[in-house]
Amino acid sequence: MTLAQLCLLLALGGAGSAVGRLLRLPIWPLTGAILGAATYHLLGSGVTATPPWLSLAGQLLVGYAIGSTVGRDLFMAVRRVTAPGAVIVVSIIGLGVAWGVTFALMGLLEPTAALLGSIPGGVGEMVAAAAGLGADSALVAGMHLIRLLMVVWALPWVLRWASGWRPAS
């Protein structure tokens, strides 16, 4: 990727975020940047991956932002939710594996791509695993992008619905 291509990619991602904010997209910095950066590829750039150092820098920034909020209260809360969290994670992984196996057995997807695209995980990590295992990394990326956008866009409505819940007395 040349410097000019990188600048165009970043500009389109920033423009997408700005449009996302104007359109009041849920979590507009993320969804807008995804859609803006996707237009870069739709314009026929021919470049299919950002430089590894840029992905690393993004992951580091997210890690710093999250890590800076960690305090003692977090560790107390984590102790309280370890068991329910483990049940949720095992359930989600189990459902993902079941769907992946189903898609593979139905002949809809190749088994490795079906599993990597159906189980939860970071988009970058799952795509890297697909590439390393010789699976269709673009397909895995697409499956996770759809999952990510659906979760992010549904989240405000789900939270609004859940805000009316009251704990049992």
Summarised one tens digit per residue, pLDDT across range 51-100 is: 788 878 877 887 888 888 888 888 888 888 889 889 999 999 999 999 99
Q: Could you give the CA distance from residue 131 to residue 116 in angstroms, rounded to a whole number?
A: 11
Looking at residue 46, its pLDDT comes to 67
pLDDT one-digit tens code per residue, 7-16: 888 899 999 9
Q: Tell me the pLDDT tens digit for each residue of 100-153.
A: 999 999 999 999 999 999 998 877 788 888 888 889 988 988 898 888 888 888
For residue 101, CA distances in Å to 114, 121, 124, 139 come to 7, 17, 22, 16
| N-term to C-term CA, the chain | 59
